[in-house]
Amino acid sequence: MAKVARGLELDWVVIRVQPLRKVLAVVIIGLVAAVLVFLAYKSLNLSPEARARRAIERADAALAHAETQPLPSHWKDELEQARDQLNMARSEYAEQNWEDAEPLADSARKQFEALAGAGDQELVGVGRFFSLEGRVQLQRAGQTEWETAHQNIPVFNGDFVRTGRDGNAEILFADGSLYRISPNSLLEIHHEMSRESPGTIKMVAGRINVYTSGAPSTVTTDSAATEIDRDSRVAVDVAADDQKTTVAAFQGSARVRSNRGGREVVIGEREAVAAMASGTITEKQKIPAPPYPVEPRNNAGFDLVENPMIALAWRGRPRNGTVHLQVSRSKSFDSTQLEVDAPRLAKDEARLRLVAPGTYFWRVAALGDGTAYSEWSALRRFRVSSTSSEHLLEDSIPPELIVNQPQQLGRMFIFEGATEISATVTINGEKV
């Protein structure tokens, strides 16, 4: 049988254009994604030199923007301090100290941004809530409704702030002053960024502690006006019943001027006066240093059955003076939750009988020859268990502590960080 030779057979292959476009699109997207991932990797894994150079470039841009803003004259010092810090970063970079140059440049940049941004009151306000605890409310200027305050929200000229019986708040103003507001307080804010005069707070009732930085500050009441000097720490207490205003300077100085009669008194470090609604101002009194809690150690644990009695001890009571002791289940020492409130203890310890399990907080303040108390001591805490068969567990693993890069605002440094729940951070014996 003869073989039949077959020629080459060709078939047309039809490729649709639409699927081809999809394939090309996928390939292009993949390439773009790869490039973006590569660039992100490069930006996140820069060499120390590149990170320092980038930080300095960002700080230069922030400085250029800050210099174009209409800053009050009392902010010029803050701008110069930030500029000096940027120059230090440049010097460290020139000496190839990359790891020192980067944080210096970052800190300077944050100061430039804060100064430039604070110049626009409509965006950032005259300050912000730095920290809050318990019930804290805010009433905007011209409004009648009260709203719950939150951390980092801005405050504006004309706003009202009030705290409940368990409320504490800290407001950080753009001029570097920090106002620590105690429970049961009501105040009105009179800070205006466009003015050269220092900011003013109108106290209606309650107590505030004012920490000034590079600029002075003023607190007014119905009885007196208190002009607080820069780099000072002053407490102003207003009695709700008779409007008596007590002013105590723990650091720096303050000028107290009566609203009636115009009498003025300048108080220095650890001095206090009281201004009456009638216009009189008392003689200056010395403020004793606060006592230091000694026993028990902070976060100590006790068994209610095995050890129903504990001793609280402190040192630093003034000679012939007394100590005010408070024990509470609340860190804010709400008056309705005080377990112990002993205002005049003429000794250096107190024995307590434990009656219920839980976590307790205690603090002490000193009273000398006059009527001016010291500031409260550092807060201490102890725990009580009702278990008799099992001992309290001791946590031998220290909690993790993360501290962010500090921020400088004038002569004030702000440290923020995080640690474990229920952990306490103390510096030089003071809770922070």
Q: Among all chains, which residue has been given the structure tokens 């201004």?
A: 275
Closest CA to 58 of 1, 107, 127, 5: 107
Convert the pLDDT of each residue in 350-370 to its tens digit. Answer: 998 877 888 899 999 998 877
User: Average pLDDT, stretch 57-77?
Assistant: 78
Confidence of residue 200 (pLDDT cuts 50, 70, 90): confident
The stretch 53-75 carries a mean pLDDT of 80
pLDDT digits (tens, 9 = 90+) for 247-292: 999 999 999 999 887 789 999 999 999 999 888 898 999 999 999 9
Burial 331-347 (b: 16+ CB within 10 A, else e): bbbbeeeebeeeeebee
pTM for the model stands at 0.64
The predicted model gives 238-248 an average pLDDT of: 88
> SS3 of 91, please?
helix
The torsion angles phi and psi of 239, rounded to 5 degrees, stand at: -80, 135
Task: Report the share of the chain in percent with pLDDT over 70.
Answer: 79
| Mean pLDDT for the stretch of residues 209-235 | 90
Side-chain-side CA neighbours of residue 9 (13 Å) = 3
In the prediction, which pLDDT does 206 show? 92
The least confident of 5-19, 87-101, 150-164 is 5-19
Closest among 289, 316, 314 to 379, alpha carbons compared: 314
Locus of tokens 């303040």 = 365
pLDDT class of 36 with cuts at 50, 70, 90: confident
Going by C-alpha positions, the residue among 195, 287, 210, 197 that lies closest to residue 254 is 210
- Look at residue 277 in the predicted model and tell me its pLDDT: 86
pLDDT at 181: 93
Render pLDDT for 108-167 as a digit per residue (tens, 0 to 9): 888 787 766 554 444 345 788 888 888 999 999 888 899 999 888 888 888 999 999 888
> What is the band of 39 on the pLDDT scale with cuts at 50, 70, 90?
low
